[in-house]
Chains A and B, each alone.
Chain A
Amino acid sequence: MAKLIIPTPLRKFTNDQAAFESTGATVKDIITELVTAHSGLRTHLLDDSGNLRSFVRVYVGDEDIQALQKDHTPVGANDTVSIIPAIAGGKC
């Protein structure tokens, strides 16, 4: 199963779960499965039309899906998908 790594700022929506395993065949499948399992993540990752938000980057391995086939990028069973958020510091 492909492994999706959830970044720290989003773990409050996954009960502090740092990784999510999925059998999804594409990035879109996996993200859909993720936001179905953890509905609080939806607004953080997807806009109203269901597209990935521009401040969230998604990688398969070390490659940005924007440079591959975007949402439709295929994900193999041994791939690691990373959500990379913009972080600025620990200030409040």
Chain B
Amino acid sequence: MATNAIEFSKEELERYSRHLIIPEFNIEGQRKLKAARVLVVGSGGLGSPLLLYLTAAGVGTIGIVDFDVVDESNLQRQVLFGVENKGMPKVDAAVARLRALNPHVNFRTYNEKFTSKNALDIIKDYDVVADGTDNFPTRYLVNDACVLAGKVNVYASIYRFEGQASVFNYTGPDGVTGPNYRDLFPTPPPPGLVPSCAEGGVIGVLPGILGSLQALEVIKVITGVGVPLSGRLFLFDATTFETRTVKVRRDPANPLNGTAPTQTGLIDYEQFCGLGISERKEEPRVKELTEQELKSLLDNGADIQLIDVREPYEYLIANLGAELMPLKQVSEFASRISKDKQVIVHCRSGVRSAKAIQELEQQFGFENLYNLKGGILAWAKEIDTEVATY
């Protein structure tokens, strides 16, 4: 990077003065930041602090990939957005906020999903990628694209009270390239072991902490100040405030850059993570009814039984007055389920209730169970907008 030619206005010099007076950072570090191009994939919980700090710090060009729109349930942790942004594309809301924070930064937005088709084309224009995504397929995609394109992948991930961070595919001053996500986790957990709706969630401050650490590592990688978190994985448990940093090593069996690489391009990551179409077809096939059909039954005073298989803490957010029988214990409730009436079973989106029906049919021979398609979410969307969604 030829950074000598980079100049700063008086406003910029004043803005960045707290960087400029750190001896090992100085104007040289600031020039590197201004010359740098950083791609942030995901502008949610991790992306919010990342984007705010990278923008404030004066990274010259920032790309933002996100296909989502701002939703009420984002505001608990996605501090980039406000109430007035609800329903707006996240990339647009983000840039409006970030431009107001620092007019000296160039933004490029990609209001689309990051996929195997567009990933390499998007990241080719950037020096460093920060992964702020929220699912396994995209994490493997970001990693593989970075390794194949020779970009540093600054990683953080969160779940409930637990956070992880690392710097992947970083080539140090010695010319040695450090490990990447595939060295740490060669394969994703099978879909059955990935947390379901009943097991999701994240404490709002946690992505703030991890995303800020990511911003720090991005800045260190760009400026060469300090020692980046390469070859190490940082772990944070917010419940106990225990932090650990463990070693990560290159794996000779890594399919991208091990001793005998077998993968030279991007693959179908949904399939790789077991979420492919063939898998979806194996979803339990059960009798279903729509939210409109349920409404007519209720309006007509039909003699039905309504069962909710979500967890008690979900029931407290919103419910349809159904009998609560959480999926994990549903068999224990079998004696309370009618074998004669039409029984409608629901959950949040329809997946767990289908599982519950399958389990009850197999174990107890029920033939009168119907799954509410789309769960309470469909009801909230189409029938009663006063019902809170989550």
Binding site for B on A (CB under 8 A): 5, 7-9, 12, 18, 44, 54-55, 57, 59, 62-64, 66-67, 82, 84-92
Judge whether B139 is part of the interface by a CB distance below 8 angstroms: yes
**For A59, A63, A84, A91, which residue has the most chain B Cβ atoms within 10 angstroms?**
A91
Docked Cα-Cα span, A9 to B251, in Å, equals 25
Which among B83-91, B122-130, B234-242 touches the partner chain?
B234-242
Give me 28 A-to-B residue pairs in the complex whose CB atoms sit less than 8 angstroms apart, sorted by A's number: A7-B162, A8-B159, A8-B161, A8-B162, A8-B239, A9-B160, A9-B195, A18-B237, A18-B239, A54-B186, A55-B187, A55-B188, A62-B244, A62-B247, A64-B246, A64-B248, A67-B249, A85-B189, A86-B185, A87-B158, A88-B194, A89-B45, A89-B134, A90-B158, A90-B200, A90-B201, A92-B200, A92-B201
- State the CA gap A86–B157 with chains docked (Å): 9
Is the beta-carbon distance between B200 and A91 smaller than 8 angstroms? Answer: yes
Residues of B bordering A, CB below 8 Å: 45, 133-136, 139, 157-162, 164, 184-189, 193-202, 233, 235, 237, 239-240, 242, 244-249, 251, 348
Min Cβ gap A9→B in Å is 6
Complex Cα–Cα for A86 and B233 (A): 12
| Contact in complex: A88, B133 (CB < 8 Å) | yes
- A/B pair count, beta carbons within 8 Å: 97
Say whether A86 contacts B189, CB under 8 Å: yes
* Residues in B whose Cβ lies below 8 Å from that of A62: 244-247
Complex interface: chain A residues within 8 A of B200 (CB): 90-92
Across the interface, B233 reaches (CB within 8 A) one of A55, A67, A84, A92, namely A84
Q: How far is the CB of A39 from chain B (nearest CB, A)?
A: 15
Supplied contacts A67-B249, A87-B164, A92-B197, 13 more A-B pairs, CB within 8 Å: A8-B159, A9-B162, A12-B199, A54-B187, A62-B246, A62-B247, A64-B248, A82-B246, A84-B246, A88-B135, A88-B139, A89-B135, A92-B198
What is the CA–CA distance of A19 and B136 in the complex, to the nearest angstrom? 26
Most chain-A CB neighbours within 10 Å: which of B160, B188, B189, B247?
A: B189
A90 and B194 CA atoms in complex are apart in Å by 10
Contacts of A88 in B (CB 8 A): 133-136, 139, 157, 159, 194
Query: In the complex the two chains form, is B134's CB within 8 Å of A90's CB?
Result: yes
Q: Which residues of B contact A84 (CB under 8 A)?
A: 164, 233, 235, 246
